[in-house]
Chains A and B, each alone.
Chain A
Amino acid sequence: MRTPQLADATGAVLDGLDNVIEVGGLRQKYGDFEAVRGISFTVPRGEIFALLGTNGAGKTTTMEVLEGYTPATDGTVRVLGLDPVKQHRELRPRVGIMLQEGGFLGDLTVAETVGLWKGLSEDAGRPVTLSGGTELAGGFTLMGRVRRVDRAIMGALELVGLEKKARVKVKQLSGGQKRRLDLALAVLSGPEVLFLDEPTTGMDPEARRTTWKVVENLRDAGTTVLLTTHYLEEAERLADRLAIMHEGRIHTHGTVDEVVATSGDMITFRLPGVSWTFGDLPTLDGVAPVLTYDGGGTEVGYTLAGTDTATRAHAALRPLLAWADTRGETLGRLAVRRGTLEDVFMRVVGEV
């Protein structure tokens, strides 16, 4: 257990702050509707934390409170030890935000958009340190003057694979390309904390992998990342820890392994005939089987939820095989598989 260190009374951040993001009992209401219903989690420095949930779970709402867009209805939130609303000015230069959607000026080119953000960042005393392999010269064309694109801007575009689109108007980009531009803007000023709201929605598989790589590299360089997603694969691949959110509540959280362990291991097999009942079969690890009859046979399934997650499958197989030997039965298509994040997710969202 880490002990959080809060900012001291003057609001200055103490060195060695462990939890970069702290959320305690957060509730958020829109009128009478409670979108977030008392959630708590912490994200230590240098970790990627994923909020995984279906649409309407309250992920964006949670992000926006942390980003300082609205004060929390109830509960406490701290980012880098600071209050995101009251200490917005101090926090702003240290945070990178990728909103769920939109917010571009369609008449600007991609390079101009990055250039604008770079300028705003420099004005705030955070120079952009990215450096690309090339730069594009300015000059005059039939269509008028084109501006030079410097190495810092190209560096940001190369990072997300948009260097060939530097002179394209933002309104002509595809949805996935806009997401990549968005990512470039969010990471431009070398933020200490990065908020990514559904960063890869609308991206093709290649762009998605590029994005994951960018986020992992940032994490390895010490950036703390909070991201939301409804892609299980993304949470599984990226997150050091994750929380599954549904209807405003966090149902499970921990490392991917810890969360998956709660889903139990599955043992399944098939017996001939349809005359089997619960009473005929053994209980394994204290669990009764689920039987389904089809095609003249019986499908049997056990979900093992014992606390010793590493050995429970092995421990359950021994009595099962002994039972089969005694009864002279053959367990057809016997399979043992670990639970998956999907199993947990489906259980949480109530579709199983």
Chain B
Amino acid sequence: MKTDVLHAVRLARLDLTLVGRNTTVLFNVMLMPILIAAVYSTFPVGETAGVSGRVFVLTGVPGLMLAFAVFVNLVNAFTSRREELVLKRLRGGQPSAAAVMAGSGLSALVIFLGQVVLLGIWVHRFEGILPANVPLVVLAAVLGVAVFGLIAAAFSGMTPNAELAQVTVLPVLLVMMVAAPVAFPADALPGPLAVVAGLLPVTPIVEMMRTGFLGANHFTGGGEKLTMVEQWVGALPSIGIMLGWIVIGALLARWLFRWEPRHG
């Protein structure tokens, strides 16, 4: 166990080094999410759920940044490393399978948390808002990285090579962009769609992030102030949905993830 943790940390540091050495990856993983946040924040006018539209978007946009910083990043990393037989070599070396996966997840978490911190500074600097519940924000990030890391592992299993990774990630990206309640509250979608959107893993993350930043009810309500206890109680269904997705993601990854390229 201790060995696995040491290995995971070492491999995470390796991942971060390698992100810095590859311009394409650097752009996709580091700049793209910030760009998305910047672009989304220019859309809204007026007020949504008790805050300015821009604040509403900025506090929820981490749900979408996750798509690039974690999902696209890891599908690409897993697929290209499988193609280059790096995964095979690692599995034959000292680290266990769990440590290899955890290492990639950990590096993605560091990158994503870094971006959330940047966003926090941005929101504070220009909107004068300090995050109300940092642990809730961090928990949302951890759960988000876990779910999308596992789904990325599963999707990389369905991706024959690194070039096609750009294509296989599209369905997930599209669903996230459409369904995530970034620009408007989840219940603004028509009835059944709202229910579906609420069950997708991206919605609980957006809502936990937003509530964590603003200290107000963005789970079921329209932005009424909540006490710390009420924030956590309000987050429970979202946490439950995320835990459910972790199980689903783990099963999918187990079923679909491949350590080696297909033969011939």
- A residues within 8 Å of B by Cβ? 30, 67-69, 89, 92-93, 97, 99, 101-108, 116-117, 119-121, 123-126, 185, 189
Contacts and interface: CB of A to CB of B under 8 A. Distances in A.
A102 B263 contact: no
A105 B18 contact: yes
A99 B10 contact: no
A103 B18 contact: no
A61 to B, nearest CB: 11
A69 B91 CA distance: 8
Interface in B60-97: 84-86, 88-96
Nearest to B96: A89
Interface in B83-123: 84-86, 88-96
A126 B21 CA distance: 30
A89 B86 CA distance: 19
A89 B93 CA distance: 11
A125 B90 CA distance: 17
11 contacts: A92-B94, A99-B89, A102-B86, A102-B89, A103-B84, A105-B18, A105-B86, A108-B18, A120-B7, A123-B94, A124-B3
Contacts of B86: 102-105
Contact of B84 (A102, A117, A185, A189): A102
Contacts, number: 65
B193 interface: no
Contact of A120 (B10, B21, B91, B263): B10
Interface of B: 3, 6-7, 10, 14, 17-18, 21-22, 84-86, 88-96, 260, 263
A120 B93 contact: yes
A105 B17 CA distance: 11
A120 B7 CA distance: 6
B18 A99 contact: no
Contact of B94 (A30, A103, A120): A120
B96 A103 contact: no
Contact of A189 (B6, B92, B94): B94
Contacts of A120: 7, 10, 93-95
Contacts of B91: 69
A319 B95 CA distance: 67
A97 to B, nearest CB: 5
Contacts of A68: 92
Contact of B10 (A104, A107, A119, A189): A119
A116 B10 contact: yes
A99 B94 contact: no
Nearest to B25: A107
Contact of B85 (A93, A102, A116, A185): A102
A107 B95 CA distance: 20
Contact of B18 (A30, A107, A126): A107
B85 A123 contact: no
B257 to A, nearest CB: 15
A39 B55 CA distance: 68
Contact of B92 (A67, A89, A107): A67
A102 B3 CA distance: 26
B14 A116 contact: yes
A99 B85 contact: yes
A121 B17 CA distance: 19
Contacts of B96: 89, 92
A116 B86 CA distance: 13
B84 A104 contact: yes
A107 B21 contact: yes
A119 B92 CA distance: 15
Nearest to B18: A107
B97 to A, nearest CB: 9
A124 B1 CA distance: 10
A123 B6 contact: yes
A153 B25 CA distance: 29
Contact of A93 (B6, B22, B94): B94
The 10 closest A-B pairs by CB, nearest first: A103-B89, A123-B6, A102-B85, A103-B85, A120-B94, A107-B21, A124-B94, A97-B92, A124-B3, A119-B10
A108 B18 CA distance: 8
A97 B85 contact: no
A97 B88 CA distance: 11
Q: Most A CB atoms within 10 A — which of B7, B18, B91, B96?
A: B91
Contact of A125 (B3, B21, B88): B3
Nearest to B8: A123
Nearest to B86: A103
A124 B11 CA distance: 13
Given A89-B96, A102-B89, 19 more contacts: A69-B91, A69-B92, A92-B94, A99-B85, A99-B89, A101-B85, A102-B84, A103-B84, A103-B90, A105-B84, A117-B93, A120-B7, A120-B10, A120-B93, A120-B94, A121-B94, A123-B3, A124-B7, A189-B94
A30 B263 contact: yes
Contacts of B93: 92, 97, 117, 120, 185
Contacts of B94: 92-93, 117, 120-121, 123-124, 126, 189
B78 to A, nearest CB: 14
A103 B14 contact: no
A233 to B, nearest CB: 28
Nearest to B87: A103
Contacts of A185: 93
